[in-house]
């Protein structure tokens, strides 16, 4: 399937994202898709959106979750036949089977090479359609047990934010839909554009899909335990030899306390966060035209070419050279990149 989206004005139609809104769908996840894939991006210097977004329904009127409102006046399921990416949002009632025409639309989209995405319990719809058999997937931890019982052929990974299994991607909870949506933007247009969209959303620019769905202490006990100061300090020094002990010293806490705060506030470890930030910086350097990969490795703090290649491939699925060919200056995906001078520090 084509993973590289076209920019508006690049000579080809934009990547078409179709969201199937079924009976009982969670409005939040539809809103995530609308916000990330449907809105104009003037901050990128574009008049239009990065994608072409279409909502579609299996019936003329569809009641949303708990009957909060009814969605009408949108295209029918025929719109799914031309989707480059098909998104299935979740719904709380996972015991009610999806309509046969919805499942058939998923199977047809997958068969012709469209990218298939689910948010939260939307993974149940993908599993019901059969496209997840033998594949890796994630869903909300609360429904992991029932998912395994009903779909033993699926390799469920219940304790992650999202799973990227190539042409099928599944997000865990509703908020993880934002993480997966930004991951898709990063794959399609590069880190620079994804960071700009995340800033517009006032959302963390990069949370790796392997991070945990939930944390032991979701809210810091006191405001001064926020990690924001030490994160901002580290982001300004990614090219320096930072260590977890150094971060702890900067925060004025022990390394054990720092680990607890990272787990509680970010759902990851200090080292994993630091590595993710360095990879994101390496991607930005390549997108902005840095030709020497040894310079990219040094300035991003990844050190060696071997480490740069390994970390970038793990985080982005592409080695540095492949990433440059896809997102470097002069490529179609570069058309929507904001100028380096207009780029703010990653939140």
Say if 150 falls within a structural domain: yes
Lowest mean pLDDT of 57-61, 64-68, 231-235, name the range: 64-68
Would 140 be classed as within a structural domain?
Answer: yes
User: Mean pLDDT throughout 278-299?
Assistant: 91
* pLDDT beyond 90 at 81: yes
129-170 pLDDT per residue, tens: 999 999 999 998 888 899 999 999 999 987 788 899 999 999
- 141 and 244 in a common domain: no
Question: Best-predicted range by mean pLDDT among 10-19, 194-203, 224-233, 302-311?
Answer: 302-311
> Domain end: 148, 179, 196, which one?
196
Domain harbouring 141, CATH code: 3.40.50.880
- Regarding whether 50 and 188 lie in a shared domain, the answer is yes
Q: Distances from the Cα of 42 to the Cαs of 45, 184, 346, in angstroms? A: 5, 19, 19
* The pLDDT of residue 337 is above 60: no
Structural domain contains residue 215: no
- On whether residue 212 sits in a domain, the answer given is no
- Is 302's pLDDT higher than 50? yes
In this prediction, residues 219-244 reach a mean pLDDT of 75
171 shares its domain with 288: no
Pair 234, 163 in one domain: no
* Rounded-to-integer distance, Cα 128 and Cα 321, Å: 39
Quick check: is 38 in a domain? yes
Confidence of residue 215 (pLDDT cuts 50, 70, 90): very low
What is the domain range of residue 329? 221-266+269-347
Lowest average pLDDT, out of 217-226, 228-237, 259-268, goes to: 217-226
Same-domain pairing of 95 and 242: no
Q: How large is the average pLDDT for residues 315-340?
A: 70
Q: Rounded mean pLDDT of the chain?
A: 82
Mean pLDDT on 104-130: 96
Residue 248 domain-assigned (yes or no): yes
Residue 149's region, left for phi above 0, alpha for psi from -120 to 50, else beta, is alpha
Examine the domain organization and report whether 170 and 303 are in the same domain: no
Q: Does residue 48 surpass a pLDDT of 80?
A: no
Residues 289 and 254 grouped into a single domain = yes
What is the pTM assigned to this prediction? 0.68
Residues 162 and 107 in one domain: yes
- Cα–Cα distances in Å, from 205 out to 178, 191, 196, 202, 344? 10, 9, 8, 9, 12
Q: 248 and 345 share a domain?
A: yes
Residue 11 within a domain: no
- C-alpha span between 98 and 289 (Å, rounded): 47
* Section 266-293 average pLDDT: 89
Do 70 and 126 have their domain in common? yes
Domain count, the chain: 2
**What pLDDT is stored for residue 41 in this prediction?**
79
Between CA 45 and CA 89 the distance in angstroms is 30
Q: Are residues 25 and 173 in the same domain?
A: yes
The average pLDDT across 319-324 equals: 90
Residue closest to 268 by CA, chosen among 186, 347, 333, 213? 213
The domain that contains 301 carries what CATH number?
1.10.10.60
Which pLDDT score, from 0 to 100, does residue 301 have? 94
Same domain, 189 and 287: no
């Amino acid at each position: 399937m084509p993973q590289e989206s076209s920019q508006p004005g690049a000579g080809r139609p934009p990547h078409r994202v179709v969201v199937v809104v079924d009976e009982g769908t969670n409005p939040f996840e539809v809103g995530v898709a609308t916000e990330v894939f449907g809105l104009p991006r003037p901050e990128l210097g574009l008049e239009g959106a990065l994608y072409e977004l279409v909502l579609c329904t299996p019936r003329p009127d569809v009641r949303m979750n708990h009957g909060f409102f009814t969605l009408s006046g949108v295209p029918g399921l025929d719109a799914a036949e031309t989707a480059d990416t098909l998104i299935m949002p979740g719904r709380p009632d996972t015991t009610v089977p999806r309509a046969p025409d919805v499942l058939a639309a998923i199977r047809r989209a997958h068969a012709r090479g469209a990218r298939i995405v689910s948010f939260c319990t939307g993974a149940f719809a993908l599993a019901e359609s059969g496209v997840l058999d033998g594949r890796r997937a994630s869903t909300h931890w609360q429904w992991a047990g029932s998912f395994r019982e009903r779909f033993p052929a699926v390799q469920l990974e219940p304790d992650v934010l999202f799973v990227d299994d190539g042409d099928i991607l599944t997000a865990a909870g509703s908020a993880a839909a934002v993480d997966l949506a930004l991951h898709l933007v990063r794959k399609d247009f590069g880190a620079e554009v994804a960071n700009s969209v995340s800033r517009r959303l006032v959302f963390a620019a990069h949370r790796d899909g392997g991070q945990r769905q939930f944390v032991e202490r979701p809210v810091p006990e006191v405001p001064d335990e926020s990690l924001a100061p030490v994160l901002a300090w580290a982001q300004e020094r990614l090219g320096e030899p930072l260590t977890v002990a150094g971060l702890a010293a900067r925060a004025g806490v022990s390394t054990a306390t720092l680990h607890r705060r990272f787990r509680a506030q970010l759902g990851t470890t200090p080292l994993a966060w630091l590595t993710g930030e360095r990879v994101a910086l390496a991607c930005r350097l390549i997108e902005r035209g840095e030709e020497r990969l040894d310079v990219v490795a040094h300035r991003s703090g990844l050190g060696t070419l071997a480490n740069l290649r390994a970390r970038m491939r793990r985080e982005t699925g592409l080695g540095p050279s492949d990433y440059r060919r896809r997102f470097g200056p002069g490529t179609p995906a570069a058309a929507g990149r904001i100028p380096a001078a207009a780029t703010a520090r990653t939140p």
